[in-house]
Amino acid sequence: MRTVYVNGDYLPENEAKVSVFDRGFLMSDGVYEVTSVLGGKLIDFEGHVKRLERSLSELDMRAPAAMDDLLTIHREMVSRNDITDGLIYLQVTRGNPGDRDFHYPPADTAPTLVLFTQSKPGFAASPLAQRGARVISVPDMRWGRRDIKTVQLLYPSMAKMMAQEAGVDDAWLVQEGKVTEGTSNNAYIVKNGRIITRALSQDILHGITRAAVLRFASEAQMEIEERSFTLDEAMQADEAFFTSASAFVMPVVEIDGTALGDGTPGPVATRLREVYIDESLKRAV
């Protein structure tokens, strides 16, 4: 049985409790982070904590703990759950006001902090990364502040179900003809050796993996263009890929039934995946 963390306590998962009045449950009034663990160490931890701080501040939400304590709690979760490879999920909500009300509760209401682990032994050697992911496009019907990592994930779940029903691996979201991002990842295409990905704005989540991958790519003298791209452009690209804390760099080999290149993972995505995993492991805490 897993040990989970709730508001200062480490508990068996079946003993952990959150109130029915919790704002996260009633209003999706919460933010989250997913950090990967490789070899028992946290990948890109500082980036995830910084983004958490930003999400909290954009929503005028109180920090649930000193940011230094979050590292201790994450490490404790890795060790108590004996995680070698996997994910740590962290969620902060605006807490329990004791009733349902649209208005935020008084500022001194204690936030709720929950963490749990997901063990995925050997998940960096993903079979999907060998084969390459197939995606479909669906309209982006999410709200306008996708830069805040909130727990309002119903539309991404619907889009994942559309992908599942279409027999593919994931969906890319399209707004005004341009790809915003994937259901739970940032999207990229490669054309004539140039890596093209949408620029940061309120339209997309500012991926921590994205930031690291673009840094490694530019250090390796690869050319990067941060701009929107159309679905047509994507289907005519040499390669495509997506990034996230749980997928690292994932090659995409097909979009809406059209194979990219020869239909196998491209060299840029394959190389970036290796570089990202190697370099992040070196910096892991």
- What is the Cα–Cα distance from 17 to 231, expressed in whole angstroms? 44
Which one-letter amino acid corresponds to residue 189?
A: I
Residue 163's φ and ψ, nearest 5 degrees, are -65, -45
Give me the catalytic one of 149, 178, 191, 282: 149
Asked if residue 253 lies in contact with residue 132, where contact means CB atoms within 8 angstroms, the answer is yes
Helix and strand tally (H, E) in the chain?
A: 8, 15
- What is the Cα–Cα distance from 20 to 244, expressed in whole angstroms? 31
User: How many CB atoms lie under 10 A from the CB of residue 61?
Assistant: 21
Span from 57-65, 231-239, 240-248, 271-279 in contact with ligand PDD (CB under 6 A): 240-248
The distance of Cα 228 from the centroid of its chain, to the nearest Å, equals 20
Asked if residue 63 lies in contact with residue 73, where contact means CB atoms within 8 angstroms, the answer is no
Choosing from 228, 243, 270, 280, the residue that interacts with ligand PDD (CB under 6 A) is: 243
Q: Could you tell me the smallest distance in angstroms from the CB atom of residue 208 to ligand PDD?
A: 3
Structure tokens belonging to residue 182:
């994937």
Asked if residue 43 lies in contact with residue 86, where contact means CB atoms within 8 angstroms, the answer is no
Which 140-159 positions form the footprint of ligand PDD (CB under 6 A)?
none
Asked if residue 234 lies in contact with residue 255, where contact means CB atoms within 8 angstroms, the answer is yes
205 binds ligand PDD (CB under 6 A): yes
CB of 23 or CB of 210, closer to ligand PDD: 210
- With CB under 6 A, what is the number of residues at the site for ligand PDD? 14
Span from 20-28, 116-124, 162-170, 180-188 in contact with ligand PDD (CB under 6 A): 180-188
Residue that is written with structure tokens 């701009």 in the block: 227
Q: Could you tell me the smallest distance in angstroms from the CB atom of residue 158 to ligand PDD?
A: 13
DSSP string, 12-63: EGGG----TT-HHHHH--EEEEEEEEETTEESSHHHHHHHHHHHHHHTT---
34 binds ligand PDD (CB under 6 A): yes
- What is the Cα–Cα distance from 236 to 201, expressed in whole angstroms? 25
Choosing from 55, 93, 186, 228, the residue that interacts with ligand PDD (CB under 6 A) is: 186
Choosing from 55, 96, 112, 244, the residue that interacts with ligand PDD (CB under 6 A) is: 244
- What is the Cα–Cα distance from 78 to 88, expressed in whole angstroms? 8
CB of 134 or CB of 210, closer to ligand PDD: 210
Span from 113-121, 161-169, 204-212, 218-226 in contact with ligand PDD (CB under 6 A): 204-212
208 binds ligand PDD (CB under 6 A): yes
207 binds ligand PDD (CB under 6 A): yes
Structure tokens belonging to residue 126:
């993903």
CB of 184 or CB of 280, closer to ligand PDD: 184
Choosing from 3, 96, 117, 184, the residue that interacts with ligand PDD (CB under 6 A) is: 184
Span from 71-79, 112-120, 161-169, 242-250 in contact with ligand PDD (CB under 6 A): 242-250
Give catalytic status of residue 178 as yes or no: no
Q: Could you tell me the smallest distance in angstroms from the CB atom of residue 107 to ligand PDD?
A: 28
24 binds ligand PDD (CB under 6 A): no
Binding site for ligand PDD (CB under 6 A): 34, 181, 184-186, 205, 207-210, 243-246
Active site residues: 149
